[in-house]
Amino acid sequence: MAAPAQPRQRTALSDNSNHHRNHATTKTAAIASEGRFERSKNLIAQRAARRAEAMQRSHAALDDGGPPRPEGGGHCNEHSRPARAEGGEKYNQTMPTLIVLRHAKAVAGLGIPDIDRTLNDRGRRDAAATGEWLRANDLAPDLVLCSTAARTRETLALLDVDAEVSFESGIYDNDADELLDLVGRSPDDAGRVLLVGHNPSVHQLVHDLAGESPDAFPTCALAVIDLPGAWPDVRPGLGTLRTVRTPKG
């Protein structure tokens, strides 16, 4: 699969056209009000335990019905596969899973600071549908790393996931290397981490981790990447791209 057209672009980005104008103020406010990784690991562990119990009940109920198919609409490419292998064998849930999500479609930025752009009607529909898809496919995260931009915050709210959330100003910086470093500092108890960010850095992150990526990563596109070992051991090329999903329309 082809790599992104410009995998190391670090200049003016269409998704962040007014970024530098707002960066200093945004970063100061974000650091002051929402310190990085100030969260309760006990709550994450409790959610992970509840999720494991629910999975056991679900798998027991499905023993006579074969493996489930991905649900909830949207388009999944050839990487998509069910959470259980053929023959009823459980998919390996011991590996950390990273879910990379680009924010949903936002309004145009005319007269609006880039960081304050909110979702349009299509974006709100797509974000809600993506949340339904995550729940239907047992991919609810334990931890969310979300950009401080309004459009990523609104996307996250419409996903309606029950998880610890850390709003990270560094995600708005739109640098794939910084995203990789951020993911590597996730707590051990977070089995699934959802990162909500911006292009081109989220597209680049998918390619860096899995060694492949779709040709395009449109708004509300989602990639699920399985990672071996612990979060601090995450390195480029070590991930397996399990699923890529884009919204209908």
Candidates 178, 141, 66, 155; CA nearest to 104 is 155
**What is the per-residue pLDDT across 31-67, written as a single tens digit (0 to 9) for each?**
433 444 444 345 555 555 555 554 454 344 334 443 3
Does residue 84 register a pLDDT over 60? no
- Cα 54 to Cα 93: distance, rounded to the nearest angstrom: 13
Candidates 107, 111, 123; CA nearest to 247 is 123
* Residue bearing tokens 């596109």: 221
How do strand 97-102 and strand 192-197 relate by DSSP bridges?
A: parallel
What angle (nearest 5°) sits at the alpha carbon of residue 47, between those of residues 103 and 72?
Answer: 45
The tokens describing 62, both together, are 């499905």
Q: Which CATH number fits domain 19-246: 3.40.50.1240, 3.60.90.10, 3.40.30.10, 3.20.20.70?
A: 3.40.50.1240
**What is the per-residue pLDDT across 142-194, written as a single tens digit (0 to 9) for each?**
999 999 999 999 999 999 999 999 999 999 999 999 999 999 999 999 999 99
pTM of the model: 0.69
